């Protein structure tokens, strides 16, 4: 049996650090690999041929011999997940939908997939495999019981292209003891943390070490949810690291009450945890009480963060604006705290109600839900909640202004200085060899610092810790993070494109340059103006080198200088001339996240479109009748 598992391409967000991955870090394509698919692969019968394709680092196969195509997805991946399910179903494959969004909203997939897998997979996936081999697969496999993580297998890390990611991922526990109103973790995994055995963790680390991994992210939603078991794990990791000469640098997610547990902090340092991500959300006690995040009320959050710094552990943090108690003054409060705490990776999001969370239910009762395409990414300038104390427009404008303020060169430098004053002996190490570190620093300066002029150069020079060289790796990392977030915010969170005359002028110049091709009907150009200008360029029949060079020159400048979206359509083209298309796409790949590709189906397989770079529009988004049994 041949199984193809696909992780759909993620839309760009703060979490993707696209600029850093594309322009600074050597040979990397994404941050984290799909651990869920590697686990699913390990649950398959031993004689199955399993293939994992992560569209974030490689292109999807347009043709496959797979008997089953499984497509996972979080909420933000749902649009692409729908496209992939429909495409492979049309090709005649048995399609299975899974992932966190299918677990929360399984009813949304009934017309999209032959089978939906909802919930933790350890038991129900094995049941599906058995049923499929018998030719009797069910339309829904829904885990309603409690999965013992002792039954979770060693993930098939060998099926992942680990060298293309900045981190590798590993999981120790599921579940969180707290009751945050907006969080879907307790909906999916419950409030009683369940853990793997230390022996399971050891086997996973041994395999990752064998594969050459160094940077490991424990993806637990709260690693310290069960403090006793977490301390047992950390003691084990300390011993493991000593036996293997600190083979790994770790990071994870924890709750802010970590700061009150000195033993836990000491154990994290001993085990070589260089960073933790914490949901701080707000410094307003009323907002924290409103959302049920009482664990953050135990002491002043600034004191808590600085105590974590004192143990050499960096803090990445999430913040939320839009609680019922928030006002326009909240933006200033959040700015002051993020700055004083020196939190460089500050993921500020607008409060969003995820399906089946307590917040969603409350907003529904209060009639405050907004119909939107938002499916889980709260770091865009949108929300599905009607704010209580300000208008939606004021909320969005305040959010955009906050990020504009936080992400200037001087502000990045100010936060870094505030952090290094308390994080004097960081555990963080880059994990790269010396030649790679030097190359990273060179690319950072040439591609990130220098183009910003004195507004970047002077703050950068002002943060070099000449008297504390052990802080330099963290300092370099913070500048990479800050500039990556700056680039994302400039593209995705800035006020919408309004340079209509400028765009029309560029397109007019393009039309003039290829006037003969337009007259001959080989090229057509259309524009549609909305919040974002969309440009569609259609190529028909023969395109020669002159057309390609003109298109590359004018379209790359359009994408570089504006926020326009571009669609390229290829019709009735001679396959022998597709090398010209390849040249055009190569020139536009730096802006691939804003470029969609459409082509006649007879060109598929011949047209080299990397779907991890461009959005290849699949030919049929309309779900067909499903429910076929067997292979």
| pLDDT, position 374 | 53
Q: What is the DSSP secondary-structure string of 363-413?
A: HHHTT-B---S--S-TTSS--SB--SSS-HHHHHHHHHHHHHHHTSHHHHH
| pLDDT, position 379 | 62
Give the whole-angstrom CA distance, residue 165 versus residue 161: 8
444, 253, 329, 415 alpha-carbon torsion, rounded to 10°: -30
Q: Point out the least confidently predicted range of 166-170, 371-375, 471-475.
A: 371-375
3-class state of residue 316 by DSSP: strand
Q: What are phi and psi of 403, to 5 degrees?
A: -70, -35
DSSP state of 275: E
Mean pLDDT calculated for residue range 368-391: 81
* pLDDT tens profile 225-284: 999 999 999 999 999 999 998 789 999 999 999 999 999 999 999 999 999 999 999 999
Confidence of residue 378 (pLDDT cuts 50, 70, 90): low
Give the whole-angstrom CA distance, residue 145 versus residue 612: 36
Nearest to 152 by CA among 196, 115, 109, 194: 196
Check whether 287 has a pLDDT greater than 60: yes
- Asked if 40 contacts 70 with a C-beta cutoff of 8 angstroms, the reply is yes
Check whether 101 has a pLDDT greater than 80: yes
Q: Point out the least confidently predicted range of 60-69, 373-382, 482-491.
A: 373-382
* pLDDT tens profile 167-188: 999 999 999 999 899 998 888 8
Check whether 208 has a pLDDT greater than 70: yes
Please report, rounded to a whole number, the percentage of residues in the chain having pLDDT higher than 70: 95
| pLDDT, position 166 | 95
What are the Cα distances from residue 85, in Å, to 126, 420, 544, 624? Answer: 21, 48, 36, 10
Give the whole-angstrom CA distance, residue 54 versus residue 9: 7
Mean pLDDT calculated for residue range 491-502: 68
Give the whole-angstrom CA distance, residue 584 versus residue 514: 15
Mean pLDDT calculated for residue range 295-317: 97
| pLDDT, position 541 | 83
3-class state of residue 244 by DSSP: coil
Q: What is the DSSP secondary-structure string of 4-44?
A: EEEEPPPPP-GGG-HHHHHHTSTT--BS---HHHHHHHHTS
Check whether 623 has a pLDDT greater than 50: no
Structure tokens at 521: 């009907």
Mean pLDDT calculated for residue range 294-317: 97
* pLDDT tens profile 1-54: 999 999 999 988 877 899 999 999 989 999 999 999 999 999 999 999 999 999
| pLDDT, position 496 | 55
- Asked if 164 contacts 29 with a C-beta cutoff of 8 angstroms, the reply is yes
Q: Point out the least confidently predicted range of 44-48, 121-125, 254-258, 560-564.
A: 560-564
Please report, rounded to a whole number, the percentage of residues in the chain having pLDDT higher than 90: 79
Q: Model pTM greater than 0.75?
A: yes
Give the whole-angstrom CA distance, residue 169 versus residue 162: 10
Check whether 417 has a pLDDT greater than 70: yes
| pLDDT, position 576 | 67
Rg (CA), the chain: 25
For residue 435, count CB atoms less than 10 angstroms from its CB and return exposed for 0-12, middle for 13-18, buried for 19 or more: exposed
What are the structural domains of the chain? 2-19+27-142 (3.40.50), 276-293+309-351+387-494 (no CATH), 500-616 (3.30.750)
| pLDDT, position 622 | 42
Mean pLDDT calculated for residue range 450-473: 96
Check whether 625 has a pLDDT greater than 50: no
* pLDDT tens profile 573-612: 777 667 888 889 999 998 998 999 998 877 776 778 899 9
Structure tokens at 113: 């997939």
> β-pairing, 173-174 with 194-195?
antiparallel
| pLDDT, position 500 | 74
Name which residue leads in pLDDT, 258 or 373.
258
DSSP state of 337: H
Mean pLDDT calculated for residue range 68-93: 95
| pLDDT, position 621 | 43
Give the whole-angstrom CA distance, residue 23 versus residue 618: 28
| pLDDT, position 620 | 58
3-class state of residue 626 by DSSP: coil
Mean pLDDT calculated for residue range 423-450: 93
Which of 300-309, 367-376, 572-581 reaches the highest mean pLDDT?
300-309
Confidence of residue 373 (pLDDT cuts 50, 70, 90): low
What are the Cα distances from residue 179, in Å, to 75, 147, 295? Answer: 21, 21, 10
Average model confidence (pLDDT) across the chain: 92
Confidence of residue 96 (pLDDT cuts 50, 70, 90): very high
For the chain, the 3-state helix, strand and coil shares in percent, each to the nearest 5, are: 45, 15, 40
* pLDDT tens profile 509-538: 999 999 999 999 999 999 998 778 899 999
Check whether 345 has a pLDDT greater than 50: yes
């Amino acid at each position: 049996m041949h199984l193809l598992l696909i992780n759909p391409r993620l839309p760009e967000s703060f979490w993707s650090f696209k600029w850093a991955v594309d322009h600074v870090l050597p040979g990397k394509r994404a941050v984290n690999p799909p651990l869920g698919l590697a686990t699913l692969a390990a649950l398959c019968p031993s004689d199955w041929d399993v293939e994992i394709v992560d569209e974030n680092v490689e292109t999807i196969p347009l043709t496959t011999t797979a008997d089953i195509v499984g497509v996972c997805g979080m909420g933000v991946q749902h649009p692409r997940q729908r496209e992939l399910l429909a495409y492979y179903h049309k090709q005649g494959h048995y399609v299975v939908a899974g992932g966190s969004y299918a677990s929360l909203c399984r009813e949304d997939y009934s017309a999209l997939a032959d089978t939906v897998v909802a919930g933790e997979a350890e038991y129900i996936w094995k049941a599906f495999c058995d049923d499929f081999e018998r030719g009797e697969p069910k339309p829904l496999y829904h885990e309603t019981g409690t999965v013992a993580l002792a039954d979770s297998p060693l993930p098939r890390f060998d099926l992942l292209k680990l060298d293309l990611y900045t981190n590798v991922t590993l999981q120790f526990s599921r579940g969180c003891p707290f009751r945050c109103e907006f969080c879907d973790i307790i909906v999916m995994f419950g409030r009683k943390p369940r853990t793997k055995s230390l022996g399971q963790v050891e086997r996973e680390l041994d395999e990752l070490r064998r594969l050459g991994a160094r940077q490991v992210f424990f993806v637990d939603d709260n690693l310290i949810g069960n403090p006793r078991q977490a301390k047992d794990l950390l003691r084990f990791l300390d011993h493991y690291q000593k036996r293997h000469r600190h083979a790994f640098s770790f990071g994870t997610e924890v709750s802010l009450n970590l700061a009150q547990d000195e033993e836990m902090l000491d154990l994290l340092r001993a085990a070589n945890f260089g960073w933790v991500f914490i949901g701080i959300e707000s410094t307003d006690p009323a907002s924290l009480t409103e959302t049920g995040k009482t664990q953050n009320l135990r002491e002043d959050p600034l004191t808590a963060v600085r105590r974590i710094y004192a143990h050499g552990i960096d803090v990445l943090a999430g913040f939320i604006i839009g609680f019922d108690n928030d006002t326009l003054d909240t933006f200033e409060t959040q700015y002051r705290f993020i700055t004083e705490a020196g939190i460089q990776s500050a993921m500020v999001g607008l409060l969003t109600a995820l399906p089946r969370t307590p917040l969603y239910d409350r907003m529904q009762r209060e009639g405050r839900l907004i119909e939107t395409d938002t499916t889980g990414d709260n770091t865009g300038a949108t929300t599905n909640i009607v704010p209580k104390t300000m208008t939606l427009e004021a909320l969005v404008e305040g959010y955009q202004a906050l990020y504009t303020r936080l992400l200037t060169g001087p502000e990045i430098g100010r936060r870094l200085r505030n952090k290094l004053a308390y994080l004097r002996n960081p555990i963080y190490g880059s994990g790269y060899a010396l030649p790679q570190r030097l190359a990273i620093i060179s690319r950072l300066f040439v591609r990130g610092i220098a183009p910003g002029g004195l507004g970047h150069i002077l703050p950068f020079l002002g943060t070099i810790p000449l008297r504390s060289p052990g802080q330099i790796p963290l300092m370099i990392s913070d500048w990479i993070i800050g500039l990556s977030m700056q680039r994302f915010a400039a593209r995705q969170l800035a006020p919408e494109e309004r340079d209509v005359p400028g765009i029309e002028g560029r397109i007019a110049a393009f039309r003039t340059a290829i006037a003969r091709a337009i007259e001959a009907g080989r090229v057509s150009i259309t524009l549609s103006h909305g919040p974002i200008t969309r440009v569609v360029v259609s190529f028909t029949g023969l395109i020669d080198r002159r057309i390609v060079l003109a298109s590359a020159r004018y379209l790359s400048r359009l994408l570089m200088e504006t926020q326009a979206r571009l669609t390229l359509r290829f019709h009735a083209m001679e396959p022998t001339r597709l090398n010209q298309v390849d040249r055009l796409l190569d020139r536009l790949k730096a802006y691939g996240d804003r470029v969609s590709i459409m082509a006649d189906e007879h060109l598929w397989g011949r047209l080299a479109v990397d779907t991890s770079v461009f959005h290849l529009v699949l030919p049929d988004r309309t779900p067909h009748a499903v429910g076929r049994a067997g292979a």
